[in-house]
Every structure is written in C-alpha cells, then in structure tokens.
C-alpha cells in the first residue's frame, strides 16, 4: 500500500513538473531547457516575497508565478526567437539561460538548507494504514485540477484553440491569421507559469536548492521522452511509469538509485521506441 500511495503522489509530481515543458514543445516545437531554472526561480522568489518583503503566502505565490510567466515570454522574445528553427541552437540557448539563472542563485548564496516554503496545511492523515501528509494530498488535487484546466483551456478557449492549431498544422494556422511567434511567446509564458504552480506545491516537501532545478529538468525531459513528445496522454503515461518505478526502486534497492533508473528508462526508450510510449512516428521525424 505504501508503494501504491506514494507511487501515485510521485507520478502526479512528475506530471506537474513535465506539463509546462510538454506544453511548450507541443506548441512551438521548442525544448525549453530553462524549465528547471524557472521552477526554482518561483521557489526562491516566493521565499523572498514571504520572508523578506512580508507579503502573505498567497500573494507571494501569485506574484512569483506572474513574474516567471513574464520572464518566460521575455526569454523567447529576446533570445530564443533569434535561433528559431535551429534545434541544436535552441537547446544550447535555453540551457545556457537556465544554467545562468541557477548559478546566479548559487553565486548569491542561495545554497542554505534554510530556504524552505511552508506547507499549505500542516499535519497528516492515515489512509489504509499509510500515514501521508496533507501537502502530498494537496499535490494530487492540484495535479488533477491542472490537467482538467489544461484540457478545458486548450479545447474551449480562443487562445487554447490557437495553440492547438499551431501544434497540429503551422502553415494552415498561419494562413488563417494565427501568428506563430506570438503563440510561441504565449506558450512559453503559460509553460513557465505551469512550472511555477508545480514549484509552489512541490517545494514545501523539501529544501529549495539549485540542484533541485537540474533534477526537475532531468525528470521533465525523461517523462516527455518516455511518454512521447507532443502527446499529453504520453506525458501522463510516462509520469506514472516513471513515478512508480522510482518509488519501487527506493523501496527495494535504495533512493540513491532513483536517478539511475530514470536514465535507464530514457536509454531503453530511445533504443526500443524512440518516439515514446504514445508518441507518433511523425513526431519523431519532426524531431530528427
């Protein structure tokens, strides 16, 4: 039962982490390697607003998510638009931006164990003999709510439909008046906001560190590769497969082997089914 409950929590965490990365790639075919940096940027800024400026918790969270979404759009407008259509250069540029942000935090001394966000609700509950804290249950609720929101947003709003149209047929969308660069900016902004939402509900489980950003980026890439880039169902499948694999590994072998399992899953996927579990061959051809 422990593996079942904590595997579910870990799977939802991975889905939350990967959702922003998957959205950006699905719309603009851009692998945003600054994703992990934007994640911890929200964590650190929320901490600063809360502890240094005295803003209440909800206000700190909202300000941080708004700021990081604006930064995401600026990153595209100032940097990524200049290397658009050059996949290797896009990866290098976004990775360089991400490393610069994270190492700036390290340089400014944000490496102490003192940087933590408080849980939304203190305490724990017993479920079928398994004691689980309320924060993890909140993560499950937020994860389900986010998946529902993304589905409603992409299927029932003008902006969401534009994002889907660009993802499905860029040339036809341009002929109908949809501007791809504007859509890419919106996707980066929303993807950054999703990274922020994931950060504020997940980071209360531990310390805010620079290394967390690198780990988040690795997990987001792993989930999308395993599930299939460009496939929302694939992201969920990859998150649940990897989530339960990590918890099972931690329970029977040791937590220090979790990242090894993640990398093994990536290698096996690239060897056996490069397009991912639910990815299509067309997606693979576009990536190549």
CA angle 126, 129, 135 (to 5 degrees): 35
- pLDDT greater than 70 at residue 176: yes
**pLDDT attached to residue 27:** 84
Structural domains counted in the chain? 1
123 assigned to some structural domain:
no
**pLDDT attached to residue 112:** 61
Answer with the residue of higher pLDDT: 235 or 180.
235
Q: What percent of the chain has pLDDT over 90?
A: 67
Helix (H), strand (E) at residue 130:
strand 130-133
170 assigned to some structural domain:
yes
**pLDDT attached to residue 287:** 43
124 assigned to some structural domain:
no
127 assigned to some structural domain:
no
CATH of the domain at 241: 1.10.3470
Tens digits of residue pLDDT in 74-124: 999 999 999 988 989 999 999 999 999 999 988 887 766 678 999 999 999
Helix (H, G, I), strand (E, B) or coil at 117: coil
CB 112 within 8 A of CB 47: no
Output the average pLDDT for the chain. 90
122 assigned to some structural domain:
no
State how far the Cα of 30 lies from the Cα of 42, in Å rounded to an integer.
Answer: 21
Among 14-18, 172-176, 193-197, the minimum mean pLDDT is found in 172-176
CB 226 within 8 A of CB 261: no
Q: How many C-beta atoms surround the C-beta of residue 149 within 10 A?
A: 13
99 assigned to some structural domain:
yes
125 assigned to some structural domain:
no
What is the DSSP code string of 36-62?
Answer: HHHHHHHHHHHHHHHHTS---HHHHHH
Tens digits of residue pLDDT in 9-47: 999 999 999 999 999 998 888 899 999 999 999 999 999
Containing structural domain, residue 268: 2-116+132-287
Could you tell me where the DSSP H helices lie in 108-231?
134-156, 158-168, 170-175, 180-202, 210-227
**pLDDT attached to residue 28:** 84
155-176: average pLDDT: 78
CB 35 within 8 A of CB 213: no
Query: What letter does residue 118 receive in the DSSP assignment?
Result: P
82 assigned to some structural domain:
yes
- pLDDT greater than 70 at residue 258: yes
Round to the nearest angstrom and report the end-to-end CA distance of the chain. Answer: 42
């Amino acid at each position: 039962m422990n593996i079942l409950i904590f595997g579910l929590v870990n799977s939802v965490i991975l889905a939350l982490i990967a959702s922003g990365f998957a959205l950006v790639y699905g719309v603009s075919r851009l692998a945003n390697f600054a994703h992990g940096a934007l994640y911890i940027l929200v964590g650190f800024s929320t901490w600063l607003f809360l502890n240094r400026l005295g803003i209440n918790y909800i206000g700190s969270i909202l300000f941080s998510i708004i700021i990081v979404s604006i930064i995401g759009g600026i990153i595209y407008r100032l940097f990524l638009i200049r290397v658009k259509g050059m996949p290797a250069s896009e990866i290098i540029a976004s990775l360089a931006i991400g490393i610069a942000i994270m190492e700036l935090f390290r340089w400014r001394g944000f490496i102490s164990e003192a940087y933590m966000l408080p849980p939304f609700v203190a305490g724990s509950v017993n479920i079928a003999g398994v004691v689980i804290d309320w924060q993890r249950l909140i993560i499950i609720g937020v994860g389900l709510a986010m998946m529902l929101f993304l589905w409603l947003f992409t299927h029932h709003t003008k902006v969401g439909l534009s994002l889907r149209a660009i993802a499905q047929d860029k040339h036809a969308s341009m002929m109908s008046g949809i501007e791809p660069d504007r859509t890419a900016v919106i996707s980066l902004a929303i993807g950054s906001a999703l990274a922020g939402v994931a950060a504020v509900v997940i980071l209360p489980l531990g310390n805010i560190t620079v290394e967390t950003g690198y780990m988040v980026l690795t997990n987001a890439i792993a989930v999308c590769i395993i599930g299939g880039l460009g496939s929302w169902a694939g992201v969920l499948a990859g998150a649940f497969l990897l989530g339960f694999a990590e918890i099972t590994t931690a329970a029977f072998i040791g937590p220090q082997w979790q990242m090894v399992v993640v990398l093994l899953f990536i290698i096996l996927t690239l060897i056996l089914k490069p397009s991912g579990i639910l990815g299509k061959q067309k997606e693979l051809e576009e990536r190549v």
